[in-house]
Structure 1
Amino acid sequence: MNATVSRIGRDHGDVDVAVIGGGINGAGIARDAAGRGLKVLLCEKDDFAEGTSSRSGKLIHGGLRYLEYYEFRLVREALIEREVLLASAPHIIWPMRFVLPHSPEQRPAWLVRTGLFLYDHLGGRKQLPPSRAVDLAHEPEGAPLREEFRRGFEYSDCWVDDARLVILNLVDAARKGATILPRTRAVSARRENGAWHLEMRAANGELQIVRARALVNAAGPWVQDVVQGVAGLNSAHHVRLVKGSHLVVPKFWSGSQAYLLQNTDRRVIFVNPYESDLALIGTTDIVHNGRAEDVAVDDGEVDYLLAVLDRYFRAAPGKGDIVHAFSGVRPLYDDNADNPSAVTRDYVFEVHGAADQPPLLSIFGGKITTFRRLAEQALERLAPWFPQLAPAWTAGACLPGGDLGGPFEQFLIDLARDYQGLPRELVAHYARLYGSSARDLLGTARSPNDLGRHFGGTFYERELFYLREREWAVTAADVLDRRTKHGLHLTRSEREAFELQF
């Protein structure tokens, strides 16, 4: 008896659903399930969004290029979700216009126009302006481009702070009663007395247990490891790991527009405004055969992305301009496509468990734009085991901080008025990351001196306390690279000084 007590540090008791994986899919499922009255626990082996969901292209989009692969259902679903998500979190999701310079040797103009027409109409677009033709020889969007690109097109999609999208789903799940466990690895799971007996190990070595009526495997790149290594089952499905790398450079054009560039291999590269004075460039599509944890940008990818920029822009950045680079693996459902770019971005569910057995629901594939709908469908698949399950609810609900009471621009004006003693740049930072929750963070602060120690840029001690207390931040990288992007704006010495306290 005493040996058992010392071996198991904490027994979380009985829950309805235990979710393995703290990326966007796991976070969305935990939020949806908790909001339907289920008792939920979520565990993540690392920090939330650390594996894939903070390393995306940071777009809520339908996937214009997926139309070439006849993924009409997926594009329609994603375009519908684009509208839903924009309304739910206007502080971290906002419209962006994309300029597509026409490169006739890749795709004829009629094909691009047809694709954009479908893109405008497949998803019932309401909030975003339609696509249009652009005279790049005379309109300002063409100014940074080489003179051979004289015509093009412009269309709408949305930007998203991907890591914050994950965190806000988890914050909402926790508010609705879910238990959220970062840095807690699923070790083993077995069916026992009509429930899953899940053992987890925390970062400090402590073994924890929970008993769950249903187990959800949202482990992303590690989904098969959970099926086989944790639950000891076999899977009929597989994921293909595709590496996508991005570069961050100083912004090298005027205006708020982004660019979508067609490369000679028919791939497309996004060049997006990032963090006001930077640009985010990507992505690559390379099959990754190693461990997901070992993914990294290689020189070939850097050369590839810079060559695309040089083909289109008059003053393209070079290697010496790169201020940051990151790479992630997308766990795409393996549909046996030869070309990594053609692998479906759709998702597939696999359920292990009969009516009289506790189920294991595993998710293969997916993309950040469709996470909310994926979560709804995951709960639909689990509904036979939960006959009293409440109906879907997330389509009309704001994420934490998203209840701005009107357009973001007006919210920012009101927040700046209420905190007149703070620099406008600082107020804008809080408004963008925290939305209406910025008032909880700022409290009675009336000047920067009220915010505690200044770490550099727009980073003050009060925000650090908030992230530790409300958003599970433990390490410097949690704070600087995922909960915020302060790491891109601190000097090396400022970052080193901040890291010393962890």
Structure 2
Amino acid sequence: MSGQFSALWQRGGRAALPDVLAREWDVLVVGGGISGAGVLLEAARRGLKALLVERHDFAWGTSSRSSKLVHGGLRYLKGGHVRLTAESVREREMLLRCAPGLVEPQGFAFAQYEGARGRRSFLAGLAIYDVMAGRRERHWLAADDFLMAAPNVKRDGLAGGIVYTDARTDDARLVLRVLREALDHGAAAVNRLGARALLREGGRVRGATLACAVDGTEYAVRAKVVIDATGAWSGPLHGLGPRLRPLRGSHLILPAWRLPLARAVSLMHPHDGRPVFAFPWEGATLVGTTDLDHDEGMDRAARITRAEVDYLMAALQAQFPHLQLTDNDIVSTYAGVRPVIAGKDGSAPSQEGREHVVWSSAGLVAIAGGKLTTFRAIALDALRVAKAQLPGWNDPLDACAVFAPVPPPQAPHLDASLLRRLHGRHGACTAALLDAAQPGELERIPGTETAWAELRWAARCEAVQHLDDLLLRRTRLGLLLRDGGAAHLERIRAICQPELGWGAAHWAHEEAAYRASWTLQHGLPHED
């Protein structure tokens, strides 16, 4: 691993934290989701001394709880948001080129039934989509051909279907890959370190007071510019900016054998006509999403409600009636809160825009809104605003590929699809990960696409502070396996406890806390 501050992510590395935080930084980024990670990388690769802090864990909030889609925003065309769609398509294509194995093409299939409307407008939108992406696809399939693409859909009244291509990712791993790239450019990133208050001198922000969640120590950290990239949590630190409308999107994970899909299937919900999708993800099937005002407060992690489970299951039962899916088929659930800027017209949640805005005051820049796909564009916009507050820094801020090209290591003994996956997630660290693997650890964990070696590497080199960091974000085993992976905890412990340096009592405490939080946040809810 290269990078001046990479040791902070390794066992015992936080001992160096006081010395790191005593430096004066050009940019202090608050928020460890995809927007903050993007700002950190774009700042560091352009020569700025940049530090990112996150009060929970990297990708703890929206950026590990999204719908996992890197998409062009096809539905935004209907609302006339051509610029946002074009920007999203451009960013999607860039990520597909530079992050294979992490960002992958995802085919979609949308069944059309007799009497349904909207086929022509949908196909017209896809034609524009193709122009933006610089490619052309066949989008309409007759019923028999469509059933080859999506064999499990309801057949009664099927007229045919529309197919198109977007992309999918592991959102938390995307954040980790961007952060690792930033570290390679000389940045520092610290989790479990929250910003409590801004430091001000002469009416200007000069840094922030940070509090460590691990040992309670407070630090006064100086920076020329503070960039608030806390997403849906933006505002409390400085009280500025537009009004946000936190919207909750909830999801289900089902076993792939119960809902087998070669393509994503998109449908309009039978109750309200909203779009719902199901697609293959990480060896399972992901179903989403709801779009509701989140009124439970932002001080705890979002969770699905019983009504949302019923809503998503109703969509599945309508589209795949012969599969007879029930709650017993649900492996896990998750919910995230989107940082949406509130409109002025009282729009329904699904009709709110997904644009981002950037604003500033002396020594402070803040970001609100935006979406996973456009994180690079958001980061560059934030730095363009910050540039006026960084005298002597004259980078033109031209867009470039997020990840520097790194050839995959030679591993003829390894399955090609697994090597592609590991290289996409870990980039230049892939060879070291393979070298660290013990016998049998390059096998996939049953029911997932995850290799055991990914656990060892995460525990050794990816700033794991708690067991949920390891099982919900460094890997996604807590979502992909029943009961959060309880059946595999003994082997996980054998691999990771020595790497983490946790004693028996520490591990027992972490396991109990993980099981409790998993039940609350990712299990099936009780009646509302």
Using the alignment, how far apart are the partners of 2:323 and 2:108 within structure 1? 19
Q: Secondary structure at the match of 1:152?
A: strand
Q: How far did 1:49 drift?
A: 0.4
Residues 378 and 457 of structure 1, relative CA distance in 2, 3 Å threshold: closer
Do 2:455 and 2:492's aligned partners in 1 also have CA atoms closer than 8 Å?
no
Matches within 5 A, 1:80-91: 80-91=90-101
Q: Secondary structure at the match of 1:317?
A: coil
- 2:213 is the counterpart of 1:206: no
Q: How far did 1:208 drift?
A: 1.3
Using the alignment, how far apart are the partners of 1:246 and 1:153 within structure 2? 24
Matches within 5 A, 1:11-410: 11-103=21-113, 107-121=117-131, 123-126=132-135, 130-139=137-146, 140-147=148-155, 148-192=157-201, 196-203=206-213, 204-228=215-239, 235-251=240-256, 252=258, 254=260, 256-264=262-270, 265-276=272-283, 278-292=284-298, 293-313=300-320, 314-336=322-344, 337-353=346-362, 358=363, 360-386=364-390, 387-392=392-397, 395-398=400-403, 403-404=406-407
Choose the corresponding residue for 2:426, options 423, 434, 440.
434
AA of the residue aligned to 1:214: V
Could you tell me the TM-score, scaled by structure 2's length? Answer: 0.81
Using the alignment, how far apart are the partners of 1:427 and 1:197 within structure 2? 42
- 2:482 is the counterpart of 1:470: no
Q: Secondary structure at the match of 1:478?
A: helix
AA of the residue aligned to 2:143: L
Q: How far did 1:269 drift?
A: 0.8
Do 2:454 and 2:475's aligned partners in 1 also have CA atoms closer than 8 Å?
no
Using the alignment, how far apart are the partners of 2:103 and 2:417 within structure 1? 18
Q: Secondary structure at the match of 2:176?
A: helix
Residues 199 and 106 of structure 1, relative CA distance in 2, 3 Å threshold: farther
Do 1:32 and 1:393's aligned partners in 2 also have CA atoms closer than 8 Å?
no
Using the alignment, how far apart are the partners of 1:455 and 1:303 within structure 2? 28
Residues 428 and 480 of structure 1, relative CA distance in 2, 3 Å threshold: farther
Using the alignment, how far apart are the partners of 1:150 and 1:246 within structure 2? 29
Q: How far did 1:267 drift?
A: 1.1
Q: How far did 1:266 drift?
A: 2.6
Using the alignment, how far apart are the partners of 1:444 and 1:226 within structure 2? 41
Q: How far did 1:450 drift?
A: 7.8
Q: Secondary structure at the match of 1:59?
A: coil
Using the alignment, how far apart are the partners of 1:457 and 1:59 within structure 2? 19
Using the alignment, how far apart are the partners of 1:98 and 1:54 within structure 2? 22
User: Once structures 1 and 2 are overlaid, which stretch shifts more, 236-245 or 20-29?
Assistant: 236-245
- 2:488 is the counterpart of 1:481: no
Residues 142 and 185 of structure 1, relative CA distance in 2, 3 Å threshold: closer
Do 1:244 and 1:327's aligned partners in 2 also have CA atoms closer than 8 Å?
yes
Residues 176 and 469 of structure 1, relative CA distance in 2, 3 Å threshold: farther
Residues 209 and 227 of structure 1, relative CA distance in 2, 3 Å threshold: same
Q: How far did 1:284 drift?
A: 0.1
Q: How far did 1:142 drift?
A: 3.9
* CA deviation profile, 1:277-317 (whole Å, cap 9, x unmatched): x1000000000112232421111111111111111113152
Using the alignment, how far apart are the partners of 2:18 and 2:406 within structure 1? 39
Do 2:70 and 2:168's aligned partners in 1 also have CA atoms closer than 8 Å?
yes
Using the alignment, how far apart are the partners of 1:271 and 1:205 within structure 2? 43
Using the alignment, how far apart are the partners of 1:456 and 1:68 within structure 2? 38
Using the alignment, how far apart are the partners of 2:38 and 2:263 within structure 1? 30
Residues matched between the structures, number: 465
Choose the corresponding residue for 1:492, options 486, 493, 506.
486
Using the alignment, how far apart are the partners of 1:42 and 1:483 within structure 2? 18
Cα RMSD of the aligned pairs, angstroms, is 2.8
Do 1:27 and 1:169's aligned partners in 2 also have CA atoms closer than 8 Å?
yes
AA of the residue aligned to 1:321: D
Do 1:215 and 1:361's aligned partners in 2 also have CA atoms closer than 8 Å?
yes
* CA deviation profile, 1:311-347 (whole Å, cap 9, x unmatched): 1113152211000100011010111342000111111
User: Once structures 1 and 2 are overlaid, which stretch shifts more, 148-157 or 307-316?
Assistant: 307-316
User: Once structures 1 and 2 are overlaid, which stretch shifts more, 88-97 or 250-259?
Assistant: 250-259
Residues 213 and 272 of structure 1, relative CA distance in 2, 3 Å threshold: same
Q: How far did 1:426 drift?
A: 6.0
Do 1:136 and 1:142's aligned partners in 2 also have CA atoms closer than 8 Å?
no
Q: Secondary structure at the match of 1:443?
A: helix
Q: Secondary structure at the match of 2:374?
A: helix
Q: How far did 1:248 drift?
A: 0.4
Do 1:219 and 1:226's aligned partners in 2 also have CA atoms closer than 8 Å?
no
AA of the residue aligned to 1:471: E
Do 1:284 and 1:301's aligned partners in 2 also have CA atoms closer than 8 Å?
yes
Q: How far did 1:434 drift?
A: 2.7
Using the alignment, how far apart are the partners of 2:328 and 2:260 within structure 1? 21
Using the alignment, how far apart are the partners of 1:93 and 1:378 within structure 2? 24
Residues 150 and 436 of structure 1, relative CA distance in 2, 3 Å threshold: farther
Do 2:101 and 2:420's aligned partners in 1 also have CA atoms closer than 8 Å?
no
Using the alignment, how far apart are the partners of 1:9 and 1:403 within structure 2? 33
Q: How far did 1:425 drift?
A: 7.7
* CA deviation profile, 1:370-391 (whole Å, cap 9, x unmatched): 0001111111111212342323
Using the alignment, how far apart are the partners of 1:195 and 1:217 within structure 2? 12
Using the alignment, how far apart are the partners of 1:160 and 1:380 within structure 2? 28
Residues 316 and 49 of structure 1, relative CA distance in 2, 3 Å threshold: farther
Q: How far did 1:175 drift?
A: 1.5
Partner of residue 496, structure 2: none
Residues 205 and 342 of structure 1, relative CA distance in 2, 3 Å threshold: same
Unaligned runs of 5+ in 2: 1-16, 494-503, 511-528
AA of the residue aligned to 1:492: A
Q: How far did 1:469 drift?
A: 4.0
Using the alignment, how far apart are the partners of 1:163 and 1:239 within structure 2? 23
AA of the residue aligned to 1:249: L
AA of the residue aligned to 1:13: R
